[in-house]
């Protein structure tokens, strides 16, 4: 099978790493890729915004499956255009189905219409109306840019002044077009978790759960990021809770999208709050999480490629539920100092060669590039994902941090408390 993988982050390296293990694979291409993906795939220079160029590559190289990693190309209709121009199966939803991530307001309305548990909310297209709404509702309160904002368009406001500033900033263009409309919703109390399932029409196949760390600094302090670390399995997502998530959230969503004429195909990622009343949807994402994918792929015991193809071809109901290793996985993100704000590119990363041959350890690359002089350089905000695998989360955590100690990158930083919730169930690590 000849596969084209779209994307160049840590999520895509994890997918490439797993796809490359498939006996069904004959060729793996990736665009734009990164230094880690280049070790398992042929990198090709394609402008993903030019859908005709991607389609031409698929025709020329006889691609059998396109796997789209990030959300932006899906919201822009890449899956629709590739299927229309080439007929090649695409793992990833149509633009109409990708509205589940592309518009938070769309998803909230869908939940309201179909009884899917979520926070109470209101949508606003005018700043003054949103500010007036804040005066009648207590804090903390959540302010969200409606559109795509690279995981950073959500503000949990502790005070009314903070909420007002968030609303004003969004309408003023702090998140570009994503903030043309704003969603304000109640703050939910509970424990956050991520749950993933493959969806093809009304067929839903559960995968696994994970928990990530959005804040930049230890103790869940600082600004939201795309994610600074994750672990799987998630203790809060026991078997009974997973069944509720499937029954109350995932399956009704698949049926609702099919009924609206926008059947979903791909992985559906539910950001959840596990409350005293049960699971409630925070938001949907139409792709694997990053960094959650970096802990899911090492735990997946089965071949990933047949699962992706069955989903893309609409025959998910013909494949059995995947098997998972009993081991846990924990990943720590190394980011460039300054992230998620401004940061400098081009610093040199050394020491990864010391980790070659380590068992139960995978280093997934994100913002990396191999320079002409052979040096590995940081070219992004989130740069490396060091993933430990062990019988339990504590041991996986120790494995990851032991490996990080071998990496020489003064310009980078990382959180030292990844996994604290799973280990302490509510008390931060000292």
SS3 for 301?
Answer: coil
Architecture of domain 328-424: Alpha-Beta Complex (3.90)
Distant-in-sequence, close-in-space partners of 422: CB < 8 Å, separation ≥ 6: 211, 231, 234, 235, 393
The encoded tokens of residue 354 equal 């010391």
Instruction: Count CB atoms within 10 A of the CB of residue 337.
Output: 14
> What is this structure's pTM?
0.94
Q: What angle do CA 227, 232, 237 make, to 5 degrees?
A: 105
Fold of 191-318: D-amino Acid Aminotransferase; Chain A, domain 1 (3.30.470)
Residue 430's pLDDT is 36
Residues 14 and 19: their CA atoms lie apart, in Å, by: 9
> Could you say which DSSP state residue 40 is in?
T
Asked if the model's pLDDT at residue 428 lies above 80, the reply is: no
Query: What distances in angstroms separate CA 371 from CA 30, 156, 238, 363, 378, one per listed residue?
Result: 18, 40, 45, 19, 10
Distant-in-sequence, close-in-space partners of 415: CB < 8 Å, separation ≥ 6: 213, 216, 217, 218, 228, 229, 332, 333
The tens digit of pLDDT for each residue in 384-425 reads 999 999 999 999 999 999 999 999 999 999 999 999 988 886
Residues 271 and 279: their CA atoms lie apart, in Å, by: 10
Residue 182's pLDDT is 94
CATH 1.10.10.10 fits 2-93, yes or no: no
- Report whether 213 contacts 230 (CB < 8 A): yes
Least confident of 170-174, 226-230, 293-297: 170-174
The tens digit of pLDDT for each residue in 209-233 reads 999 999 999 999 998 898 999 999 9
Query: What distances in angstroms separate CA 314 from CA 52, 80, 198, one per listed residue?
Result: 24, 15, 11
Domain 120-186 in this protein, CATH class: alpha beta
Strands 90-91 and 154-157, bridge-based pairing: unpaired
The tens digit of pLDDT for each residue in 356-395 reads 999 999 999 999 999 999 999 999 999 999 999 999 999 9
Angle between helices 304-312 and 10-19 (to 10 degrees): 110
The tens digit of pLDDT for each residue in 310-327 reads 999 999 999 999 999 999
| Averaged pLDDT of the chain | 95
Q: Residue 269: beta bridge partners?
A: 196, 285
Angle between helices 51-60 and 78-86 (to 10 degrees): 40
The tens digit of pLDDT for each residue in 226-280 reads 899 999 999 999 999 999 999 999 999 999 999 999 999 999 999 999 999 999 9
Residues 227 and 150: their CA atoms lie apart, in Å, by: 10
Asked if the model's pLDDT at residue 189 lies above 90, the reply is: yes
Asked if the model's pLDDT at residue 427 lies above 50, the reply is: no
Residue 94's pLDDT is 98
> What are the structural domain ranges in the chain?
2-93, 120-186, 191-318, 328-424
């Amino acid at each position: 099978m000849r596969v084209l993988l779209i994307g160049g982050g840590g999520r895509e390296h994890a997918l490439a790493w797993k796809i490359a293990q498939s006996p069904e694979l004959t060729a793996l291409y990736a665009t734009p890729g990164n230094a880690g993906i280049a070790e398992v795939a042929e990198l090709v220079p394609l402008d993903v915004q030019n859908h005709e160029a991607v389609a031409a590559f698929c025709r020329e190289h006889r691609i059998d499956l396109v796997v789209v990693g990030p959300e932006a190309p899906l919201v822009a209709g890449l899956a629709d255009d590739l299927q229309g121009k080439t007929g090649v199966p695409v793992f990833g939803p149509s633009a109409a189905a990708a509205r589940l991530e592309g518009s938070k307001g769309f998803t909230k309305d869908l939940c309201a219409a179909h009884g899917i548990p979520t926070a109470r909310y209101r949508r606003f297209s005018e700043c003054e109306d949103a500010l007036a709404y804040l005066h009648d509702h207590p804090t903390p309160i959540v302010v969200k840019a409606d559109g795509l904002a690279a995981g950073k368009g959500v503000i949990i406001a502790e005070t009314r002044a903070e909420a007002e500033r968030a609303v004003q900033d969004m309408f003023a263009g702090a998140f570009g077009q994503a903030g043309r409309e704003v969603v304000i919703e109640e703050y939910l109390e509970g424990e956050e978790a991520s749950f993933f399932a493959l969806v093809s029409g009304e067929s839903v196949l559960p995968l696994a759960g994970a928990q990530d760390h959005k804040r930049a600094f230890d103790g869940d302090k600082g600004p939201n990021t795309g994610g600074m670390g994750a672990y799987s399995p998630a203790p809060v997502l026991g078997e009974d809770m997973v069944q509720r998530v499937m029954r109350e959230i995932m399956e009704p969503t698949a049926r609702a999208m099919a009924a609206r004429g926008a059947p979903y195909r791909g992985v559906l990622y539910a950001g959840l709050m596990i409350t005293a009343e049960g699971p409630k949807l925070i938001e949907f994402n139409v792709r694997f999480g990053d960094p959650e994918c970096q802990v899911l792929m090492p735990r997946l015991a089965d071949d990933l490629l047949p699962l992706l193809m069955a989903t893309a071809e609409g025959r998910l109901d013909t494949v059995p539920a995947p098997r998972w290793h009993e081991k846990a996985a924990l990943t720590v993100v190394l980011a460039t100092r300054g992230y998620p704000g401004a940061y400098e590119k081009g610093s040199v990363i050394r020491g990864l060669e010391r980790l070659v041959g380590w068992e139960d350890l995978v280093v997934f690359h994100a913002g990396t590039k191999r320079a002409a002089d052979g040096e590995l350089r940081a070219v992004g905000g989130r740069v490396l994902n060091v993933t430990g695998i062990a019988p339990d989360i504590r041991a996986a955590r120790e494995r990851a941090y032991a490996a990080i100690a071998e990496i020489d990158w003064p310009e980078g930083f990382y959180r030292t408390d990844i996994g604290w919730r799973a280990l302490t169930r509510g008390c931060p690590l000292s």
